[in-house]
């Protein structure tokens, strides 16, 4: 017999076959039942929580709960970057002192300002690759084999500084920004068959078997970014009201997910994220859902795989994830030749999320907006397209900094 009370409390979600096929992007403002929401409070009380639940259930899993952050400064150089910045190599541990170490590189401009805006970024190759500072620790964990100086999945001294132009830290310093970087693999190595980092701990904390709706790697990375945001916001040199996050590609998907669920972040930059991030799952250009779920089965939860053949049955699309960022600022940046990430589809995603910014009375992006090469377009929903390929470089950083400047000018330091 079904007890009325438990039935009312049990959360039930239709399976893929019970969901209707919808070829168009679902309207972020249209709840599953009932009329389109027309006020901020209806959005915040009703539709936004509904979307957050659907997106968690069918795609990423719920982000793990935040934990206290323990920090130890291992090295400080107050005259780094030719005296222009203070650099710290820090160990963070999440939850308790026995938890796995996360290496954090923190660089703060020596510009005499009391507080600074900050970029929190997650990288692919370890912090030692983003700087040529000789004392930053070489990351000891599993690292992707394709990066320079990596042998048998371990970084060597030869990888130091190999990503300096990817992170362009000197450029951020010159513009008055602090930068905090962590390596994704410290939180969760990007492997199906290897489980270091925090995923085993987070699974254990669930207190029940890990299921098809539960978090996987991208959610663990996004949780990790939020943990770093928690740490930097407490620093006296950082303005907690001016936090930007950035990631490229799979880590751009991560930055978007983190920003959607962490409203302490004011500027979200998802660079060339593509499928499973900034591009529509219903998109016909670039990477299909089935392909991403097959090649990277550990990125999303198992429910997402049930949509391999019919992403048109998802009760949301990435426009709805983008909408969770409203009314904060969100930038999708792209390169013309990176069609795998579907740059045109990403612009459509932003336009379709715009109604939520409108609800807040904030300028997002115009429905007639067209990409202008090398130019930042849009307002709080920004879009940037440059020539070239799938990569992150100094030109991208100029766009990131311009976008963040524009947002923070609306919200200057006290
Ligand atoms: C692959 C994958 C993309 C991903 C990219 C990256 O190309 O298919 O989804 O964004 O790797 O992370 O570089």
**DSSP per residue over 229-293, as a string?**
HHHHHTSTTEEEEEEEEEEETHHHHHHHHHHHH-TT-SEEEEES--TTTTS-TT-SSS--HHHHH
**Distance between CA atoms of residues 12 and 264, nearest Å:** 30
Whether the bond into 327 is cis, omega within 30 of 0: yes
Shortest-distance atom of ligand 1 to CA 250: 12
The residue whose CA has the least distance to atom 7 of ligand 1 is 340
Looking at the DSSP bridge assignments, the partners of residue 80 are: 85
Tell the residue nearest (CA) to atom 13 of ligand 1: 249
Task: Please tell me the distance from the alpha carbon of residue 215 to that of residue 360, in angstroms, as a whole number.
Answer: 30
ipTM over 0.90: yes
Instruction: State in Å: Cα 27 to ligand 1 middle.
Output: 27
Measure CA of the first residue to CA of the last residue in the chain; give whole Å. 61
User: Could you say which residues of the chain have pLDDT below 50?
Assistant: 1-8
Model's pTM, two decimal places?
A: 0.97
With contact defined as beta carbons under 8 Å apart, do 390 and 272 qualify?
Answer: yes
Largest CA distance in the chain: 73
Ligand 1 centroid to 237 CA: how many Å?
Answer: 35
- Could you tell which of 185, 271, 287 is best to mutate to test the pocket of ligand 1, judged by most ligand atoms within 8 Å of the CB? 287
Ligand 1 nearest-atom number relative to CA 295:
8
Among 144, 184, 249, 333, the mutation site with the greatest number of ligand 1 atoms within 8 A of its Cβ is 249
**Which atom of ligand 1 is found nearest the CA of 273?**
10
Q: Which atom, in ligand 1's list, is nearest to the CA of 252?
A: 10
| Percent helix / strand / coil, the chain, rounded to 5 | 35, 20, 45
State the pLDDT at residue 106. Answer: 99
Contact indicator for 190, 250 with CB cutoff of 8 Å: yes
Q: Which atom of ligand 1 is nearest to the CA of 287?
A: 8
Read off the tokens for 239: 């303005």
C-alpha of residue 158 to centroid of ligand 1, in Å: 25
List Cβ neighbours of 155 (8 Å cut-off, separation of 6 or more).
125, 126, 128, 129, 138, 139, 140, 143, 147, 149
The string of DSSP letters for 131-200 reads ---TTSPPP-S---TTSTTEETTEE-GGGTTTTHHHH-HHHHHHTT-EEEEEEHHHH--S-SS---TTHH
Calculate helix-pair angle for 48-55, 250-261, nearest 10 degrees: 140
Active site residue 249: yes
Q: What's the pLDDT at 182?
A: 99
pLDDT digits (tens, 9 = 90+) for 46-63: 999 999 999 999 999 999
Distance 288 CA to ligand 1 centre (A): 11
Q: Reduced to 3 states, what is the DSSP secondary structure of residue 120?
A: strand
**Any residues with Cβ below 6 Å from ligand 1, and which?**
249-250, 274-275, 287, 292, 340
For residue 362, give both structure tokens: 């904030």
The residue from 230, 310, 390, 391 that is catalytic is 390
State residue 130's pLDDT score. 98
Ligand 1 center–CA 49 separation, angstroms: 29
For residues 208 and 205, give the distance between their C-alpha atoms in angstroms, rounded to a whole number.
Answer: 8
- What is the reported pLDDT for 4? 42
Crossing angle between the packed helical segments 250-261 and 217-233, to the nearest 10 degrees: 60
Q: Are 342 and 274 in contact (CB under 8 A)?
A: yes
> Which pLDDT does position 389 carry in this prediction?
98
SS3 15: coil
**Can you give the pLDDT at residue 413?**
57
Q: How many whole angstroms separate alpha carbon 318 and alpha carbon 323?
A: 8
198 neighbors 100 (Cβ within 8 angstroms) = yes
Residue nearest to atom 8 of ligand 1 (CA): 292
C-alpha 137 – ligand 1 centre gap (Å): 27
Catalytic residue among 56, 162, 184, 249, which? 249
The secondary structure element, H or E, covering residue 42 is helix 40-42
Strands 178-183 and 116-123: parallel
Question: In 10 A of CB 204, how many CB atoms?
Answer: 9
Annotated active-site residue 103? The verdict is no
């Amino acid at each position: 017999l079904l007890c009325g009370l438990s039935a009312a409390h049990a959360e039930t979600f239709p399976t893929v076959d019970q969901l209707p096929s919808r070829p168009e992007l679902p309207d972020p403002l249209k709840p599953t039942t009932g009329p389109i929401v027309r006020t901020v409070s209806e959005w915040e009380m009703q539709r936004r929580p509904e979307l957050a639940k659907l997106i968690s259930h069918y795609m990423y899993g719920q982000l793990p709960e935040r934990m206290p952050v323990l920090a130890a400064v291992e090295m400080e150089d107050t005259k780094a970057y030719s005296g222009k910045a203070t650099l710290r190599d820090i160990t963070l541990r999440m939850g308790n002192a026995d938890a796995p170490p996360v290496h954090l590189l923190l660089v703060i401009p020596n510009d005499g300002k009391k507080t600074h805006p900050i970029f929190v970024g997650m990288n692919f190759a370890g912090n030692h690759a983003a700087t040529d500072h000789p004392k930053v620790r070489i990351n000891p964990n599993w690292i992707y084999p394709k990066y320079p100086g990596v042998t048998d999945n371990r970084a060597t001294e030869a990888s130091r500084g190999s990503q300096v132009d990817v992170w362009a830290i000197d450029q951020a310093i010159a513009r008055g920004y602090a930068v905090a970087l962590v390596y994704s693999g410290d939180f969760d190595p990007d492997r199906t068959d290897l489980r270091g980092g925090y995923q085993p701990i987070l699974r254990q904390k669930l207190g029940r078997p890990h299921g098809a709706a539960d978090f996987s790697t991208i959610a663990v990375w996004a949780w990790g970014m939020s943990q770093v945001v928690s740490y930097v916001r407490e620093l006296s040199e950082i303005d907690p009201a001016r936090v930007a996050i950035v990631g490229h590609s799979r880590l751009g998907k991560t930055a978007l997910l983190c920003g959607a669920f962490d409203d302490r972040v004011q500027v979200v930059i998802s660079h060339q994220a593509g499928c499973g991030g900034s591009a529509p799952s219903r998109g016909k250009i670039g990477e299909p859902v089935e392909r991403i779920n097959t090649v990277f089965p550990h990125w999303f939860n198992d429910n997402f795989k049930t949509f391999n053949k019919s992403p048109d049955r998802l009760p949301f699309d990435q426009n709805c994830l983008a909408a969770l960022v409203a009314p904060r600022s969100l930038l999708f940046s792209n390169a013309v030749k990176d069609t795998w990430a579907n740059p045109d589809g990403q612009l459509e995603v932003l336009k379709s999320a715009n109604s939520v910014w409108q609800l807040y009375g904030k300028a997002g992006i115009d429905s007639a907006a067209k990409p202008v090469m090398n130019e930042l377009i849009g307002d709080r929903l920004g879009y940037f397209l440059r020539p070239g390929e799938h990569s992150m470089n100094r030109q991208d950083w100029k766009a990131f900094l311009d976008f963040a400047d524009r947002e923070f000018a609306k919200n200057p330091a006290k």
